[in-house]
């Protein structure tokens, strides 16, 4: 490979997203010989990124903005960074970074591009005329962004791949399926759930698209029946997402005693050790980390029969799967698991085995580094070493 140390640049929406979902991959790339640069909006996690030895560029990107002048300024900022850094490879994560980063990469002459979808989120599941308009615009931009020779598109499940191919957005041969961002098994040992009233948790950004409303309705129904359980929402209201649950709604639910709302928490392993069931009644996912972590901790999950969720929760084997947007079916599934501790244990142990078989951070890093090597013309190597 010569003496050149190849430069890998990550473009991610938020610093916390990078730390939560891509930090382990960046470490693996660094250990494989890459010079790692991170471009993201910086809030509270900048020091964590810089302490890893990665160069950090703060980015003025808003996930919610559709102001043409602001978006053009963001694109110019990204292009200027790409021209200054001259990376050998860029890795874009999520919709805006994929579109803007691909355009910037073409302008700056970046030789190889990886575009990673974390799921087909709000733009692809929004309903009505607004949703149709958003999909039309996004589809046109994505077709332009993803069309180049030395580029690959990472998707986390086969349903998303089928959707993008059918829409003519990307060619099947340019897609690589890598299932999620992986989980560190050492952080989630399997423990015996505590005695007492069972705890059911939904750990996610508080979005309607995550099925938060259905979760609250199911909790309200079960509590009215006298079912003994605590129902907890963990996570902040994501104000930059159009599907955000308003904070006042979360507070209202909490004050009414429908559910507990714990807000943002950094101690997810401890939360999973203290809970009995994890619930994510989402409308669509890539491959949700919250369900991966629940499985790693040996906890059963109740989720929906939608892309991403059904890829990690196998019905009546590692948890229960119900139709999306169906609070009655959700309540029925939760009732079944709350009444049967032995069933919860059986599903939880099977879930742990499933994660061990191919959903760890090591699995994800190995597959992604192999993709990097392929794009850089070094097939068969785990990654360059300078």
Q: Measure the CA–CA gap between 300 and 204, rounded to whole angstroms.
A: 16
The second-level CATH assignment, the architecture, of 7-182+360-375 is 3-Layer(aba) Sandwich (3.40)
- pLDDT per residue over 17-59, tens digit each? 999 999 999 999 999 999 999 999 999 899 999 999 999 999 9
Q: In CATH terms, is domain 185-356 a member of 3.40.50.2000?
A: yes
Question: Using only C-alpha atoms, what is the Rg of the chain?
Answer: 21
Instruction: State phi, psi for 226 to the nearest 5 degrees.
Output: 90, 10
Long-range contacts of 325-333 (CB under 8 A, 24+ apart): 325/211, 325/214, 325/283, 326/214, 327/213, 327/214, 327/217, 327/218, 327/221, 328/218, 328/221, 330/211, 330/214, 330/215, 330/217, 330/218, 330/279, 330/281, 330/302, 331/217, 331/218, 331/221, 331/222, 333/302
Q: Do domains 7-182+360-375 and 185-356 have the same CATH topology?
A: yes
Beta bridge partners of 201: 232, 278
Provide the pLDDT for residue 60: 85
Q: How far are the Cα atoms of 28, 242, 328, 361, 370 from residue 379, in angstroms, in the given order? A: 18, 41, 51, 21, 7
Q: Measure the CA–CA gap between 109 and 258, rounded to whole angstroms.
A: 54
Kindly report whether the global pTM for this prediction surpasses the value 0.85: yes
Provide the pLDDT for residue 159: 92
Provide the pLDDT for residue 381: 42
Task: Kindly give the confidence (pLDDT) of every residue in the chain, 386 residues in length, as a single tens digit, with 9 standing for 90 and above.
Answer: 445 799 999 999 999 999 999 999 999 999 999 999 999 999 989 999 999 999 999 998 776 666 788 889 999 999 999 999 999 999 999 988 999 999 999 999 999 999 999 877 555 655 666 656 666 667 777 877 777 668 999 999 999 999 889 988 889 999 999 999 999 999 999 999 999 999 999 999 999 999 999 999 999 999 999 999 999 999 998 887 888 999 999 999 999 999 999 999 989 999 999 999 999 999 999 899 999 999 999 999 999 999 999 999 999 999 999 999 999 999 999 999 999 999 999 999 999 999 999 999 999 999 999 999 999 984 334 443 33
Find, among 240, 238, 235, the residue nearest to 279 by Cα. Answer: 235
Q: Measure the CA–CA gap between 183 and 167, rounded to whole angstroms.
A: 31
Cα angle, residue 179 at apex, residues 122 and 187 outer, rounded to 5°: 100
What residue ranges do the domains of the chain occupy? 7-182+360-375, 185-356
- pLDDT per residue over 138-152, tens digit each? 777 787 777 766 899
Name the residue with tokens 């129904």. 221
Instruction: Output DSSP code: residue 209.
Output: G
Tokens of 152: 């690959």
């Amino acid at each position: 490979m010569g003496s050149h140390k190849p430069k890998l640049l990550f473009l991610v929406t938020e610093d916390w997203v990078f730390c939560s979902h891509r930090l382990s991959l960046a470490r693996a790339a660094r250990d494989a010989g890459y010079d790692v640069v991170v471009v993201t909006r910086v809030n509270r996690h900048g020091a964590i990124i810089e302490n890893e030895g990665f160069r950090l560029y703060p980015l003025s990107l808003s996930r919610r903005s559709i102001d043409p002048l602001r978006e053009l300024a963001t694109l110019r900022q990204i292009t200027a960074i790409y021209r200054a850094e001259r990376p050998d490879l860029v890795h874009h994560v999520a919709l805006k970074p994929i579109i803007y980063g691909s355009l910037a990469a073409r302008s700056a002459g970046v030789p190889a591009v990886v575009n990673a979808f974390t799921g087909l989120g709000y733009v692809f599941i929004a309903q009505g005329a607004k949703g149709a308009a958003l999909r039309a615009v996004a589809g046109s931009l994505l077709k332009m962004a993803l069309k180049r020779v030395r580029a690959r598109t990472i998707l986390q499940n086969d349903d998303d791949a089928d959707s993008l191919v059918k829409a003519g957005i990307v060619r099947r041969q340019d897609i690589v399926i890598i299932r999620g961002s992986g989980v560190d098994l050492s952080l989630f040992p399997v423990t015996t759930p505590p005695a007492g009233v069972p705890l059911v948790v939904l750990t996610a950004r508080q979005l309607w698209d995550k099925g938060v409303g259905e979760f609250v309705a199911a909790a309200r129904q079960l509590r009215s029946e006298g079912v003994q359980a605590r129902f907890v929402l963990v996570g902040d209201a994501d104000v930059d997402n159009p599907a955000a649950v308003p904070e006042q709604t979360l507070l209202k639910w909490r004050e009414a005693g429908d559910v507990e709302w714990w807000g943002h928490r950094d101690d997810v392993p401890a939360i999973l050790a203290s809970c009995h069931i994890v619930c994510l009644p989402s409308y669509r996912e890539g491959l949700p980390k919250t369900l991966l972590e629940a499985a790693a901790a040996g906890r059963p999950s109740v989720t929906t029969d939608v892309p991403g969720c059904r890829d990690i929760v196998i019905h009546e084997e590692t948890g229960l799967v119900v139709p999306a947007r169906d609070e009655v079916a959700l309540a029925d599934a939760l009732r079944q698991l709350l009444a049967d501790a032995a069933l919860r244990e059986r599903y939880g142990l099977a879930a742990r085995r499933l994660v061990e078989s191919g959903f760890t951070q090591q699995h994800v890093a190995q597959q992604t580094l192999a993709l990097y090597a392929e794009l850089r013309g070094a097939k068969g190597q785990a990654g360059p070493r300078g």
